Amino acid sequence: MVLEDLGCQDKELSILFTDDKHISEINKNYLRREGPTDVISFSFLGKEEEQMNIPMLGDIIISVDTAKKESEETGEDLETTICRLIIHGILHILGYDHEGSKEEAQKMRKEEEKLLSIIKEVR
């Protein structure tokens, strides 16, 4: 339903649930950042892939360890936290960015909240 709302109903995602140790390795090897993070995404939406009409949007990697910590800190249930992280990863794959500017961060946050509310309605 999230992909449908974003106009990507015919697309696919790969989602990996892992731990802090593994996501730290991915973070260091691919993004040159130290330590664990909650979610990492890799987009397959380049010109070459679009010309080949590949249905794959990209990869999303979520640290369940960090998601549990965030869930406890925010008071939301773990399922909601994981849904939020998946949405966050999808939005990054589609080109949203919260690190570039305050306006872009607000735009991404608003879209995250909208999509999360859709999921909550269905649950």
CATH of the domain at 103: 3.40.390.30
Task: Work out how many domains the chain is built from and give that number.
Answer: 1
- What percentage of the chain has pLDDT greater than the value 90? 72
When pLDDT is averaged across residues 11-30 and rounded to a whole number, the result is 97
How do residues 48-85 score in pLDDT, each as one tens digit?
656 567 788 999 999 999 999 999 999 999 999 999 99
Question: What distance in Å separates the CA atoms of residue 34 and residue 80, rounded to the nearest whole number?
Answer: 26
Give 41's strand partners.
60
Q: Which domain holds residue 70?
A: 2-122
Please answer whether residues 1 and 48 qualify as being in contact, where contact means their C-beta atoms are separated by less than 8 angstroms: no
Residues 6+ apart with CB under 8 A from 48: none
Residue 120: CA count within 13 A, CB half-sphere? 11
Best CA proximity match to 114, nearest among 101, 77, 106, 68: 106
